[in-house]
Structure 1
Amino acid sequence: MNSSQKFLDEIEGKNIDFLIGAGASSEYISTLSIGERGNEHSIEDLLTDYNSQENAQAFLKLLFFDSSVKRGLISTDNIPEEAKNTLESYKKLIENMLILSRHNGFERPKRTNVFTTNYDTFFEAAFDDIALDHPLAVFNDGSRGFFTREVSYENYYFNVTHSGSIDTFRREIPSVNLYKLHGSLSWSKRELKDKEIITSSLENKLLMEITKESDSCCNTLGLGRETKINSKEDIQNYLKLIDKNSNLKQNLQEFESMYSKLLIVSPTKRKFQETVLQKQYYQLLREFENELQKANTVLICFGFSFKDEHILELLKRSISNPSLQIFVIPYSESDIEYINSVLKGYTEVTFLKSPKGELGNFSVLNKFLEGVYDIEIR
């Protein structure tokens, strides 16, 4: 028996949760960082460093939107060619989740929870595609309704059973709950019956308007997909160009104003401009904390940097649950060192990688869930 099969035996029948970060979508959507790997500055680091400079804040958000946000509204009806491999990886992951949940006995819900910090809609697109082949499976993204789909943390507490056409039996069917901790590009704010609600739709007119404003600013600055920004000196050079162009300053301000209306948690120190998003954010974090405190819980992390301060704090507090097991597919050896350093003394983490030394690869995650080859457990 190989070690990945032992891993599957270890987690079978337990409460299985996934924490999925930006690395999962990085083949199609880049994550903005400046500098060399292992010593790079993240977008959150940069926004903190330039906290008091308005032009710098707007410029950095422009870079972030252009590289990491605007292409994230994915649907199966119009999937870009370069996004197909990533979508297939998500679909394979969900297939594996369904297989794992079907192995649960009658005493445990056949439910898998996915907590993600990603704004993109790869999971939703994958759900939509897979549902055609899995009629006896439920995919719940926290939205409810028909023409108006309201998103709420109250929409997760369901177990679904199938009874057949003449009610001769009842059996629980597998379900996957999707918790979008940092919001989504499919979310919009709407006034309905004297209250503000979040609705979900693949038609986000605000995103299209922001994209036009973003493209205009990028064209003026000479920024394109092939442009490389490797240091803070490069950023300073662009800021000098902005200082000399009053029209560009105004366009950047208009972009930033529109960008702030998106229902996503920007990579800053958690400053909210939308009250409705703030409420949703903290409720979903509470759900994540509750999951970490359940008996016999397994948390599988992929593509997550462990640099989100609130999520990291919840992981540290999970030390009170002696039965919690955390497994991580690391991106690099330096990630292993970093994760060990921030969680040292709080909770233990098991790292998994392929015998070929592959790290941070979506296929590694899916292969160890399938138990198909010998995985190195460290």
Structure 2
Amino acid sequence: MIEKLYGKNINFLIGSGASAGAIPTLATEYEKDGKNLSIEEILTVEKDNKNLRNLIYLYFYQKIIKTGFLEDIKDSIVMKNYEKFLEQLIKFMYRENYQKEKRINIFTTNYDLFFEKAIDNLIGKYEFYFNDGSAGNITRRLSMKNYHKKVYHTGNFDNFNREIPIINLFKVHGSVSWKYEYNEKQKIVGINVDYQDKENKLTEDILLKNLNKEEIKKILQDPENISRLENIRKNLREKFVLIFPEKDKFEKTLFEEYYYQFLRQLSYELERKNTILIAFGFSFADEHIAEMIKRACNNPTLQIFIFCYKEDNREDVLKNLHLEKFPNNIIPIIPKDNGSIDFNTFLNKLFEIESDKNGK
């Protein structure tokens, strides 16, 4: 498939399936009417249960946000797959025709830091520029204007201009590393990038192994826990710049602005000539992205390749896109013989490289 990418405007859409095996899903052991509900489903079904909502925020922090810092994930198979993915993209851009700009965009709904930490492991090995939208030294601040850059190597005597490959990372649903910046009047003035988990002390003495009714009842029997859980929820929403699993996604209008700027950027890329979008580990459950993909299919030079984890995921994607069948410019990649397309298989099919189960 790698030959299809040359000379094209290349974009990736990466979802939670890429981090599977390292980052837990939003599934829970909370049962209602004989069905285990996801975090989003609990917050919808039990929307009037304030104490349960606050407890779920604690669970969401401990299982999803805290894990996303990857403090205990150093040399995992998932990390190696991310490294291999990025390394192959850099090598590809080096092989590109000099007349084609050396730029690839990655849009992801994942909160975790796999891309950032995998890139760190490649620095010094290749000459490239990784752009996550932030700029600064001691304090790094996020801004959309930081994405629109080209970087050149000019040599010691400025006697040539050689374009440096750029990977742009757009974290559409936010990141565990993004924090709101407040001024002295407690008004939000920006979004900073901070890779330290400073909220851990708030939650370390209320631990949730599972989210089931017995454990919930036990924790909520203590009145002090009820008060602390409310403070934890407020603190998490005031500090972390994320789309939380609740209908009121945007309590902070600044992040809402960034969210729609990211979507506009994706829309702009999909409208360009000779564009390719490759989706992996993504279910298209985000209704705004799904609608955008449908509209973009009017671009006759656009090609969208959707890698489905299982054969029946094809129907899930159709359902989320509200389509009866795929248009001509959407090509689903289906696993053979009731198999699956995991990260290793994705890399193999995309870059035509062999990849074993250990990610080597």
Q: What TM-score, normalized by structure 1, do the two folds share?
A: 0.83
1:139: which partner in 2?
A: 130
1:12: which partner in 2?
A: 6
Q: Secondary structure at the match of 2:76?
A: helix
Residue identity opposite 2:266 in structure 1: F
Q: Secondary structure at the match of 1:299?
A: strand
Q: Secondary structure at the match of 2:179?
A: strand
2:357: which partner in 1?
A: none
Identity %: 34
- How many Å separate the matches in 1 of 2:81 and 2:62? 24
Residues 311 and 338 of structure 2 are in contact (CA less than 8 Å); yes or no, is this contact kept in structure 1?
no
Residues 353 and 364 of structure 1 are in contact (CA less than 8 Å); yes or no, is this contact kept in structure 2?
no
Q: Secondary structure at the match of 2:42?
A: helix
- How many Å separate the matches in 1 of 2:64 and 2:188? 31
Deviations 1:325-351 (A, max 9, x none): 111222222321111233325745323
Cα displacement (A) at 1:286? 1.2
- How many Å separate the matches in 1 of 2:59 and 2:312? 25
Q: Does 1:368 align with 2:349?
A: yes
1:72: which partner in 2?
A: 68
2:249: which partner in 1?
A: 271
Q: Secondary structure at the match of 1:109?
A: coil
2:46: which partner in 1?
A: 50
1:289: which partner in 2?
A: 267
2:227: which partner in 1?
A: 250
Q: Does 1:86 align with 2:78?
A: yes
1:331: which partner in 2?
A: 309
Deviations 1:17-68 (A, max 9, x none): 11111121121111121479xx864322322222222122122222222222
Distance 1:20 1:195, change over 3 A: same
- How many Å separate the matches in 2 of 1:63 and 1:188? 20
- How many Å separate the matches in 2 of 1:12 and 1:358? 29
Q: Secondary structure at the match of 1:278?
A: helix
- How many Å separate the matches in 2 of 1:333 and 1:62? 35
Cα displacement (A) at 1:275? 2.6
Specify every segment of 5 or more residues in structure 2 that has no aligned partner in the other structure, as ranges. Answer: 355-360
- How many Å separate the matches in 2 of 1:310 and 1:131? 34
- How many Å separate the matches in 1 of 2:173 and 2:271? 21
Specify every segment of 5 or more residues in structure 1 that has no aligned partner in the other structure, as ranges. Answer: 1-6, 374-378
- How many Å separate the matches in 1 of 2:308 and 2:28? 20
- How many Å separate the matches in 2 of 1:35 and 1:241? 15
Residues 309 and 342 of structure 2 are in contact (CA less than 8 Å); yes or no, is this contact kept in structure 1?
yes
2:58: which partner in 1?
A: 62
Of residues 236, 246, 251 in structure 2, which corresponds to 1:259?
236
Residues 28 and 82 of structure 1 are in contact (CA less than 8 Å); yes or no, is this contact kept in structure 2?
no
Distance 1:271 1:372, change over 3 A: closer
Residue identity opposite 1:108 in structure 2: K
Distance 1:293 1:35, change over 3 A: farther
Please, which moves more after superposition, 349-358 or 255-264?
A: 349-358
Of residues 149, 160, 166 in structure 1, which corresponds to 2:151?
160
Distance 1:325 1:270, change over 3 A: farther
Residues 311 and 334 of structure 2 are in contact (CA less than 8 Å); yes or no, is this contact kept in structure 1?
no
- How many Å separate the matches in 2 of 1:88 and 1:107? 32
Residues 11 and 106 of structure 2 are in contact (CA less than 8 Å); yes or no, is this contact kept in structure 1?
yes
- How many Å separate the matches in 2 of 1:217 and 1:35? 18
1:197: which partner in 2?
A: 190
- How many Å separate the matches in 2 of 1:212 and 1:360? 39
Cα displacement (A) at 1:354? 5.4
Residues 283 and 316 of structure 2 are in contact (CA less than 8 Å); yes or no, is this contact kept in structure 1?
no
- How many Å separate the matches in 2 of 1:114 and 1:9? 19
Task: List aligned pairs for 1:336-347, cutoff 5 A.
Answer: 336-343=314-321, 344=323, 347=327
1:185: which partner in 2?
A: 176
Cα-Cα RMSD? 2.6
Please, which moves more after superposition, 98-107 or 310-319?
A: 98-107
- How many Å separate the matches in 1 of 2:105 and 2:73? 29
Of residues 79, 87, 92 in structure 2, which corresponds to 1:100?
92
Please, which moves more after superposition, 111-120 or 362-371?
A: 362-371
Please, which moves more after superposition, 17-26 or 82-91?
A: 82-91
Q: Does 1:29 align with 2:7?
A: no
Q: How many residues align?
A: 345
Q: What TM-score, normalized by structure 2, do the two folds share?
A: 0.87
